[in-house]
Amino acid sequence: MVEVIPAILEKTLEEIHEKVKRIRPYTKMIQLDVMDGAFVPNETFRNPWQLRDLPVTMEVHLMIERPVLFVNSWALPNVQRLIVHYEAVDNMEHLIQHIRQTGKKVGIAINPSTSTFELKPYINDIDLVVVMGVDPGFSGQSFQYDVLEKIKEVKKLRPDVLVEVDGGVNADNRDDIVAAGCDILAAASFLWKSEDLGAALAQLRG
């Protein structure tokens, strides 16, 4: 069964708490989307200290410029891994090392226009590749089907690296994404807009 991670993309602490409260009966793992208004044209809540007691395990998807400056503050006890964007990083080797020093796992996300070829130098030093199904910034966009090939390409580079697909995931495309070899689906709008959160999660899990 594929793992499904609900994504939370909110501007206020209250909204984050509200979503966590809704999702907790169904899962203990969430993706927190962090946007700075510079790397992507949208901003979200960005005060990690206030999330240190959030009663879930998180992967933090840093859609920000110069993520190296923010690694320490996001390496909270309830954070399992930090996901950084290939496109936002100058010195990836250094950044990976820095994240490792915090004890957190490392994920690299690639935008739809970024080739998996760029991952080659780092693929053995990371835990997870996030193949973006949309250009990051907003939830509710349509999945770009041509990224499916990238899942296979990443698995060819390293069969045991985890591959997550994020952006535009829904009940109609999840079979194709899973068939391409994806291990983890991150989803926001399909889940949050559903009338029955538990049923929607079950649909994505398959």
**What are the catalytic residues?**
33, 166
How crowded is residue 111: how many other Cβ atoms within 10 Å of its Cβ? 20
Q: Are strands 3-8 and 184-187 parallel, antiparallel or unpaired?
A: parallel
Question: What is the nearest approach in angstroms of ligand DX5 to the Cβ of residue 98?
Answer: 22
Distance CA 148, CA 13 (A): 34
Kindly state the smallest distance separating residue 46's Cβ from ligand DX5, in Å. Answer: 15
Residues making up the chain, counted from first to last: 206
Nearest residue (CB) to ligand DX5, 154 versus 166: 166
Of 36 and 166, CB closest to ligand DX5: 166
Q: Which is nearer to ligand DX5, 33 or 36 (CB)?
A: 33
Listed in sequence order, the residues at least 6 apart from 182 whose beta carbon sits closer than 8 Å to its beta carbon are 2, 131, 151, 163, 164, 165
Name the residue nearer to ligand DX5 (CB basis): 26 or 138.
138
Residue 124 CB, nearest approach to ligand DX5 (Å): 25
**Residue 13 and residue 19: Cα distance in Å, rounded?**
10
Contacts to ligand DX5 by CB under 6 A: 7, 9, 33, 61, 134, 136-141, 166-169, 186-190
Q: How near is the Cβ of 22 to ligand DX5 at its closest, in Å? A: 15
* C-alpha–C-alpha distance, residues 148 and 129, integer Å: 13
